[in-house]
């Protein structure tokens, strides 16, 4: 087998973000572009020769072609074994599961998560380390540094590998294993949740559920577990076949992009329970009949009901949330006498806490929840957790959440997204707020007095690493908050996310629409930032 050394030159902009490198497909299709990045990943690693690399993705356009390139480069670089999901498919949480179960050296995940797919849409790639989690900043910075000085890459001159037949073959000195993408993940879920109890929900025949896989990677997982193992009626899972363009859908499980599911759930004869996951399977949206569960509330409810799931009934060591996520889970943690950690956005920041056994369950407001079973957020895991709670309590989704609010109070919370903003304008908005931070302390906006105004800096309690500029926080003395942050998950322009939160202990005031309850703070957010005025936007693109 011939190994080719291919001369190349660096590309600008190959710095991995919170979730790896994301660009338009047309960018990745440039000669040498993918190869440069993959070689930069390999060049940043040590002692991987003869070790195992897990490879898979969400099935979006360019997934198969990218995997063939990665196979040939991994062989040329000396990996001893490649584990690849059949058809090139592996959900992000399943990849983490497999890395951990088989003690692989690491993994390459091919996905742009909840971004659209297709020839003119988005693609992404990220490296996960041996604990199954996303590469920490020291690794991603090393990858970027290598990408800026790369002079050549190595690749095996060999035919493409059959990705659609489970089995093994040898390429040079590397074993190629095409594996069932679902089996290991399903086995792990069966150990965490009471499948016999959940199965009874469907056996009784009155409980109706709808799961929208959004033509993305969780379709095969949901069909196998929900309709196969748990015996939910056929058709419970819709849009179950992964497609390269997600069937034209935007695979982001929120009220805007999963509108068909939302309309069904809010119809008079809608199902009792509804859920959706995103492109790579790490996000979730939870719905009851005519009831939407805010992701921050979902995290808090899961933590508050931990004993209902067998995998967690011995207790939690602690919990963690991203800084913009509402403080609802903080109240649960205080009530249970456990630690609650506040981290920057990005699942990689939970990794140290999980590895050090400081936290068991983690969550982000961006529809991501997970636990120490893997080192990624896990959409289907959250759905199964909710099913376990419903089965154990014999309560509806709305009853579960309202009982939670009655006990802990309600954190009214909303996120307003301004997408595709000119990057220069977006960064100036953030810079202007950061520059005047000190002068804002003690200032009143209506009845709200500013207690803290800063750009969040995180000091990791495990390794003491420091992450700066993680979002502008405006904390008021009554506990209300406004947070401004630039998202790193898009491929065009910048997304400005504004998070608004207010605590309401009075049960009589728990049935307001969040936009109504937060109306004064929403106006204050514009007064502080000037996002609408400076971008020319009349309203957010997405409100959740």
User: pLDDT tens for residues 219-249?
Assistant: 999 999 999 999 999 999 999 999 999 999 9
**Model confidence at 158, in pLDDT bands (50, 70, 90)?**
very high
CA distances from 506 to 150, 292, 411 (A): 60, 20, 11
Rounded CA-CA distance 124/24 in Å is: 8
238 and 259: one domain?
Answer: yes
C-beta of residue 162 within 8 angstroms of C-beta of residue 178: yes
pLDDT of residue 527 exceeding 80: yes
**Model confidence at 120, in pLDDT bands (50, 70, 90)?**
very high
| pLDDT tens digits along 426-464 | 999 999 999 999 999 999 999 999 999 999 999 999 999
| pLDDT tens digits along 67-110 | 999 999 999 999 999 999 999 999 999 999 999 999 999 999 99
pTM of the model: 0.94
153 and 203: one domain?
Answer: no
Question: What percentage of the chain exceeds 90 in pLDDT?
Answer: 94
Helices 397-408/379-393 angle, 10° precision: 90
Rounded CA-CA distance 11/221 in Å is: 37
| pLDDT tens digits along 368-388 | 999 999 999 999 999 999 999
Pick from 369, 389, 408: which residue ends a domain?
Answer: 408
172 and 206: one domain?
Answer: no
For residue 54, the domain's CATH number is: 3.40.120.10
Of 70 and 136, more confident: 70
403 and 416: one domain?
Answer: no
Number of Cα atoms under 13 Å in the Cβ half of residue 87: 16
Q: Which are the contacts of 26, defined by CB distance < 8 A and separation ≥ 6?
A: 119, 120
Q: Is 414 a catalytic residue?
A: no
Other Cβ atoms within 10 Å of 347 Cβ, number: 26
What does DSSP say about strands 444-445 and 448-455: parallel, antiparallel, or unpaired? Answer: antiparallel
Mean pLDDT score across all residues of the chain: 96
Q: Give how many domains the chain has, as a whole number.
A: 3
226 and 157: one domain?
Answer: no
Pick from 179, 195, 221: which residue ends a domain?
Answer: 179
225 and 159: one domain?
Answer: no
* Section 288-293 average pLDDT: 97
**DSSP, residue by residue, 86-120:** EEEE--HHHHHHHHHHTT-SEEEEE--TTS--STT
What does DSSP say about strands 152-157 and 273-277: parallel, antiparallel, or unpaired? Answer: unpaired
Pick from 408, 429, 462: which residue ends a domain?
Answer: 408
404 and 262: one domain?
Answer: yes
Domain that holds residue 126: 2-179
Of 493 and 52, more confident: 52
171 and 259: one domain?
Answer: no
pLDDT of residue 420 exceeding 60: yes
505 and 460: one domain?
Answer: yes
| pLDDT tens digits along 299-336 | 999 999 999 999 999 999 999 999 999 999 999 999 99
pLDDT of residue 275 exceeding 60: yes
**Model confidence at 488, in pLDDT bands (50, 70, 90)?**
low
Give the residue carrying structure tokens 């309401």.
504
Catalytic residue among 113, 147, 322, 529: 113
Q: Which two tokens stand for residue 219?
A: 């379709």
The pLDDT score that the predictor gives to residue 137 is: 85
34 and 161: one domain?
Answer: yes
């Amino acid at each position: 087998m011939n190994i080719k050394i291919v001369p190349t030159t660096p590309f600008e902009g190959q710095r991995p973000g919170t979730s790896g490198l994301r660009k338009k497909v047309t960018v990745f299709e440039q000669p040498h572009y993918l190869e440069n990045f993959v070689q930069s990943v390999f060049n940043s690693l040590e002692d991987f020769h003869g070790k195992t690399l897990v490879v898979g993705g969400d099935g979006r356009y360019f997934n198969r072609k990218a995997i063939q390139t990665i196979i040939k480069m991994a062989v040329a670089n000396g990996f001893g074994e490649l584990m690849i999901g059949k058809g090139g498919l592996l959900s992000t949480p399943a990849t983490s599961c497999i890395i951990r179960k088989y003690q692989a050296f690491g993994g390459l995940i091919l996905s742009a998560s909840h971004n659209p797919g297709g020839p003119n849409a988005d693609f992404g790639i990220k490296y996960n380390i041996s604990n199954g989690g996303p590469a920490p900043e020291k690794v991603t910075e090393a990858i970027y540094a290598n990408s800026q000085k790369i002079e050549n890459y190595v690749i095996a001159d060999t035919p493409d590998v059959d990705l659609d037949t489970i089995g093994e073959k040898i390429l040079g000195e590397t074993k190629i294993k095409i594996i069932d993408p679902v089996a290991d993940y399903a086995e792990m879920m069966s150990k965490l949740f009471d499948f016999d109890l959940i199965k009874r929900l469907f056996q009784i025949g009155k409980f109706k559920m709808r799961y929208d896989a959004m033509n993305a990677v969780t379709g095969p997982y949901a069909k196998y577990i929900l309709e196969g193992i748990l015996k939910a009626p056929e058709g419970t899972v819709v849009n179950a076949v992964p497609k390269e363009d997600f069937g034209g859908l935007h695979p982001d499980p929120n009220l805007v992009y999963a509108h068909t599911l939302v309309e069904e759930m809010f119809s008079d004869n809608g199902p009792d329970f509804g859920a959706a996951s995103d492109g790579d399977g790490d996000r979730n949206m939870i719905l009851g009949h005519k009831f939407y569960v805010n992701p921050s509330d979902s995290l808090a409810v899961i933590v508050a009901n931990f004993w209902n799931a067998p995998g967690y009934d011995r207790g939690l060591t602690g919990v963690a949330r991203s800084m913009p996520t509402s403080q609802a889970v903080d109240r649960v943690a205080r009530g249970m006498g456990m630690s609650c950690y506040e981290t920057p956005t990005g699942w990689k920041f939970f990794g140290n806490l999980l590895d050090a056994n400081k936290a068991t369950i983690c969550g982000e407001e961006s529809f991501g929840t997970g636990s120490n079973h893997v080192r990624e957020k896990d959409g289907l895991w959250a759905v199964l957790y909710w099913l376990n709670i419903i089965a154990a309590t014999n309560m509806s989704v709305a009853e579960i959440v309202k009982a939670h609010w009655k006990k802990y109070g309600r954190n009214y919370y909303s996120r307003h997204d301004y997408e595709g903003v000119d990057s220069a304008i977006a960064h100036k908005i953030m810079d202007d707020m950061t520059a005047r931070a000190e002068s804002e302390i003690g200032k009143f906006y209506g009845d709200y007095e500013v207690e803290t105004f800063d750009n969040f800096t995180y000091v990791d309690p495990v390794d003491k690493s420091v992450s700066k500029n993680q979002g502008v926080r405006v904390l008021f003395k009554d506990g209300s908050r406004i947070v401004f942050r630039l998202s790193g998950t898009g491929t065009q322009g910048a997304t400005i996310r504004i998070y608004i939160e207010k605590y309401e202990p009075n049960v009589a005031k728990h049935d307001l629409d969040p936009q109504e309850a937060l109306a004064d703070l929403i106006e204050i957010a514009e007064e502080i930032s000037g996002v609408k005025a400076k971008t020319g936007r009349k309203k957010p693109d997405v409100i959740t």
